[in-house]
Every structure is written in structure tokens, then in C-alpha cells.
Amino acid sequence: MGVLHGDEIDYVFGLPLNSTNGYTKREKDLARRIMKHYKLFSKTGRPVEESVPWPKYTSSNPQYFVWNGNDSVQLGTGPRATACAFWNELMPVLRERQDGGICEHELIKALRENGNTSSQHTFTPSCLTLMLCLLLVSLRLLPPAAPLIPLTH
């Protein structure tokens, strides 16, 4: 599944450095590096030393820093627009259905048959699992009087 939103917070505040938490040496080293970069950013406005290039993030050059278990800082490129496009299509439909108290059968049917609402998008199993969880949560949020459409035939 990858890194979730907020997973970096333990490392920013040094939680792995507490020996009772059972983090590996590699995780402790990563915490030290992340804390160093946050400190640099708060002091200088740059997350890296002056000698390291820090490209400006733009739509034509979408680069960002990646800190992982390696000893170096790498540049990543993003965002993953194709993967995110699905959510841009699904979320407004879910919000609309939630507000209206109905869940559109055609959307569920398309998700069940294709795994998506548009043939141009592909998904990993973890993305599909997340999508199903989101769908189930939004169904639970519907008013009790609203008809629930089963997810299976």
C-alpha cells in the first residue's frame, strides 16, 4: 500500500529513537535524517544544505524530495495524475449520493464489473480495497430510510 498520510510524524518527532519502541537501526537513522532536514528547513527555509540543489516544484517540473531507508535524499516526480483521476471522478458522485440519500446502482455496477468508472484508469489491489472501504463507509453514512443497494448479486 505504501506510506499513509501522517506516517512521517513519528520520524519528525524522533519516536524511533526511543529504544523501548522496537524500531530498527535503519528506522532510527531515518528519523535522525528527517529531523535534521526539518531543522534545516526551520532555520534556513531550505530542507537541504546549500550545496544540494532544491528544484522549485511546478506543474511542468513536479519534483520533490524523497527520504527513505537509504542514506541519500532522492528526487521523486509526481503527482500520479492517472491514479488520482479516478478519485476525482468518484468522490463527487459519492458526495452527491450521500447528500441525496441514494447510492447510484450504475456506479456500483461499473465498479464491480470494471474496477473503475472509466476504462482509462487501472488500479492495484490495495487501491481497490481502499475504494471498497470508502464506498462502504459512505453507504453507512446514508440516512437510515435510504435504500441500500447490496454490493453482491
Output the DSSP codes for the chain. Answer: --PPTTTTHHHHTTGGGSGGG---HHHHHHHHHHHHHHHHHHHHS-SS-TTS--PPP-SSS-EEEEE-SSSSEEEEE---HHHHHHHHHHHHHHHHHHHHT---HHHHHHHHHHSSSSTT----HHHHHHHHHHHHHHHHTS-TTSPPPPS--
Pick 66 or 13 by higher pLDDT: 13
> Residue ranges of the domains in the chain?
9-77, 81-140
Nearest to 27 by CA among 35, 16, 36: 16
Residue 117 has pLDDT above 60, yes or no: no
Res 10: pLDDT:
92
Res 35: pLDDT:
94
| Average pLDDT of the residues in 114-128 | 48
- pLDDT 10s digits, 22-48: 999 999 999 999 999 999 999 999 888
| Average pLDDT of the residues in 85-90 | 75
**Local confidence band at 89 (pLDDT 50, 70, 90 cut-offs):** confident
| Average pLDDT of the residues in 78-103 | 68
